[in-house]
Amino acid sequence: MEGYAKIAAFMGEHPESAMVLRFSDISLQNILYLQAEIYGLLEDLRFIEKQNNASLAEDVGQFPLDWYTLAHTPEDGKENKQWATIKQLRPLLKEYNEAVLNFHEMSKLARPRSPDLQALQEWLRRPTLGGIYLTGRDRHIWAQGTDLTLVAAETSSNQFAIWLESTLVPIFHQTGALVRSCLLRKRSPRNRQVDAGIAEYSDAGVTRMANLVGAVLASLLPVIAIVVLHLVKSTGTRLGLIAVFSAVFSTTLWFLNDGKLIEVFSATSAFAAVQVVFIGTNG
């Protein structure tokens, strides 16, 4: 297995590496060309309609009121210009609408994370891994790494899991600590032809570790805040600490909860209220 077939097999085994070009610039350029073409035909149609509406011919005067007359009244022995222009617009409008909707859907697709792009580049470059050097005009697509989109959905559930996966996993892999961990288990290569020399760790294991850290922080932060507020007697200092603890809590929650602002705001308000109540009852 070589070339494109090997790249496709690798991407199939590692969905986070299944990244392709969006072609954003040429897609938008095509949309703009279609828009210009449709706009020009629309102006022609409005001009023809204005002329026909002012016509004294009985059949032509019925064009705005009767579709059948519009579609079946010839002009100089052939199809009249108004109906011909409408028929010319139809496929262009269909193509334009599809192009806009397709671009909109493409824009929703996630962009590849930098570590995943670097991993694919490394796999393509190293002879002991993929060792694939395309020779066609597309040979620099992944080396440039711009305007790419993921074909598969992202697997990491939150920002902390992404950070853990991209930062700590490589460190732990080098030290060997992660292999012995009960949370993350090293998986055997599934396809020896494309996975030889690759150490792969379970996404579920990374998510479990992120969730564990989140649960521990969720338990400790309120307790730490209450203990510190209990030890501090100055009301002004306590109010300042409430602001600090609330900021730390909201930042941590945002990081662990994928940045969902409404949930962060609600939880932080409740957390701050608990601290204020504690001060009020233990002043």
pLDDT of residue 182: 47
Query: Is pLDDT of 51 > 60?
Result: yes
pLDDT of residue 180: 47
The pLDDT tens digits of the residues spanning 175-191 come to 665 444 544 455 555 55
Gyration radius of the chain's alpha carbons? 31
Nearest by Cα to 108 from 8, 24, 33, 29: 24
Q: Mean pLDDT across the chain, nearest whole number? A: 82
Residue 202 in contact with residue 184, Cβ under 8 Å?
yes
Q: pTM for the complete prediction?
A: 0.69
Q: Where are the domains of the chain?
A: 1-22+109-152, 25-107, 216-281
Q: Provide the terminal-to-terminal Cα distance of the chain, rounded to the nearest Å.
A: 74
Query: Is pLDDT of 77 > 80?
Result: yes
pLDDT of residue 203: 66
Cβ neighbours of 265 (radius 10 Å) = 13
Tell me what the mean pLDDT of segment 72-82 comes to: 89
Q: Is 253 helix (H, G, I), strand (E, B) or coil?
A: helix
The pLDDT tens digits of the residues spanning 202-256 come to 666 677 777 787 788 878 888 888 888 888 888 788 888 888 888 888 888 777 7
Residue 66 in contact with residue 74, Cβ under 8 Å?
no
Nearest by Cα to 58 from 68, 45, 73: 73
Which of 100-104, 195-199, 220-224, 268-272 has the weakest average pLDDT? 195-199
pLDDT of residue 274: 83
Distance between CA atoms of 235 and 257, rounded to whole angstroms?
Answer: 32
Distance between CA atoms of 164 and 169, rounded to whole angstroms?
Answer: 6
Q: Kindly state the percentage of the chain with pLDDT values over 70.
A: 81
Distance between CA atoms of 117 and 111, rounded to whole angstroms?
Answer: 10
